[in-house]
Chains A and B, each alone.
Chain A
Amino acid sequence: MPKKPVNSNMVPLDGLGIIPERDAGKPPILDIRHLCVDFGGLRAVDDFTLLIGRTEIAGLIGPNGAGKTTVFNLLTNVYKPTQGRILLNGQDTRGKSMHELNRLGIARTFQNIRLFAGMTVEDNVKVGMSHGYSDGVFTDMFRLPGWWRTERRQHVRALELLDLFDLTDKADSLAGNLPYGDQRRLEIVRALASEPKLLLLDEPAAGMNPSETHELMDNIRMLRDRFDIAIMLIEHDMNLVMGICEGIAVLNYGKIIAKGTPKEIQQNPVVIEAYLGEEAAV
């Protein structure tokens, strides 16, 4: 697939963060202000403020235990924030249930794969299509004509999505029987099935070898270009993060210690210190 060049110049917005220049005319897909969450006495995420543009690929990095996955859990309402607010596509996410948030346009993958292992690959993708295809209970139970129409649409769409990751020929396998790399890819497909505007990927390259990671990088860019969505990812593989992310936030002990372009992050002494320890930074 020929790659279309993407203008990755970052511009400041409202003095709160940077978003890609191409997204500057539109409000950011994600607008997080002063987000905090306490677990008992521990402040796991502290004053987290971040903007993500509508077609941005954003990275969230930081040492283990920094609170990255906690941020994802806050964004998807798995946890309730103690303070602060999240605007997803301009809408406050507070008090929304998880499936309502999915409807508003957010979908995610998980650090430890959470596929429906006992269901087929295709059914996993179809579960991702739970909304937007709702027939009534009776249409469903008695498989009235409407049911078959929906079924055909879902089937075609599921195969299209699976094809993006070369999983079409495994559509009938049980998800739990797929090799590890395919399970990771299937999680992304399942998340895409709900037609998100913002896709959260939690360590998508974990456990992948360098050539698989390289392919994944191409795939992530392809998803953004094809579906015109924003993607936010947590990743430890710095080649991947520096290679595809446009804006990066670095988290340490629940606080953002740096935000910027890959180049800025790589040269930031605070980041180097957080990653390598004090002596190395001197």
Chain B
Amino acid sequence: MLFLSQCINGLQLGSIYALVALGYSMVYGIIRLLNFAHGDVIMIGAYIALLTIGAGVNPALAVVLTIFGCVFISVLIERVAYRPLRSAPRISLLITAIGVSLLLQNVTQLLFTANTRPYPGSAIIPSKALKLGGLSLSLTTIVTILVSVGSMIALHLLIQKTRMGKAMRAVSEDTGAAQLMGIDINRVISVTFAIGSALAGIGSVLFCCRYPVVNPNIGSMLGLKAFVAAVLGGIGSIPGAVVGGFAIGFAEVLVTALGFSAWTDAVVFAILILVLLFKPAGLLGRGVAEKV
């Protein structure tokens, strides 16, 4: 029974990592950028929920505002910081992403101080527990798993079944050819950022309901772990991000359950090193030779 409840625990954490990893992987698939600001967008989302609920906004509406806020800020970042560097060397883009990440953290700190604040998680998902046999499940766990899996299915349908998804797949396979076939790449990139950060917004709410504290740095560790998940699954691969997210979630829960909770971060990054050493393309990634 303990094993089962730990599995469900891993499923909850893993589904959050998967949601965030999807944003990394989608953006990487389209413009080959490791968007290190992704985690900080999640932190911004946490503040949006915190402040709006604090101001008396209906929690459901606050969740919607969080998601739209994340979308808005991501699309804005792409437009202002990344788009002008579209034809610049990739390293410039990467450094810019790190810069944007630091900017978001520091502006937030300036506006709201570095103090850790409690997140109104119980206003969003009531803290109830359901008993199934001997198993006790919190409502947060159930909602997290259902919402995450639902979002992933929606994303899958969007990519496989819509015309925009087709354009995204084409751009991710061969950007130049896609443009020459008439695809407006700016539109595709904006939509990709929007979708990735909508998932981040959902992830923000779910993550903060699990760990209900907010400070300007909560996004960086979550972002890094989701990045590891994306690399583990094969960065650029959508199913890979999901598999990687769950794998990292389970690994963390396993390490904690074995009594080494101080070691969880170390284990996650050890996984990154091992992946980079032995399977750099990731579990489901395509080992594409660099185009010259």
> Which A residues form the contact surface with B (CB < 8 A)?
76, 78, 97-99, 101-103, 107-108, 110, 114-119, 123, 126-131, 133, 135, 137, 140-141, 143, 147, 150, 190-191, 193-194
Contact = CB atoms under 8 A, between A and B. Distances in A.
Interface string B134-175: 000000000000000000000000100111101101100110
Nearest to B169: A119
A140 B180 contact: no
Contacts, number: 81
B173 A102 contact: no
A117 B173 contact: yes
Contacts of A143: 161-162
A116 B166 CA distance: 10
A31 to B, nearest CB: 21
Contacts of B65: none
A108 B180 CA distance: 7
Contact of B179 (A99, A115, A116, A147): A99
A140 B181 contact: no
Closest 5 CB pairs of A and B: A98-B179, A102-B182, A130-B182, A114-B177, A131-B182
B191 interface: yes
Contact of B163 (A101, A118, A135): A135
Contacts of A147: 163
B265 interface: no
Contacts of A137: 164, 191
Contact of B181 (A78, A118, A130): A130
A48 to B, nearest CB: 20
A136 B197 CA distance: 20
Given A116-B173, A127-B167, A141-B158, 13 more contacts: A78-B180, A99-B179, A99-B182, A102-B181, A107-B180, A107-B181, A116-B169, A119-B169, A119-B173, A128-B182, A130-B167, A130-B182, A150-B163
B54 interface: no
Q: Residue among B162, B177, B185, B191 with the most chain A CB within 10 A?
A: B177
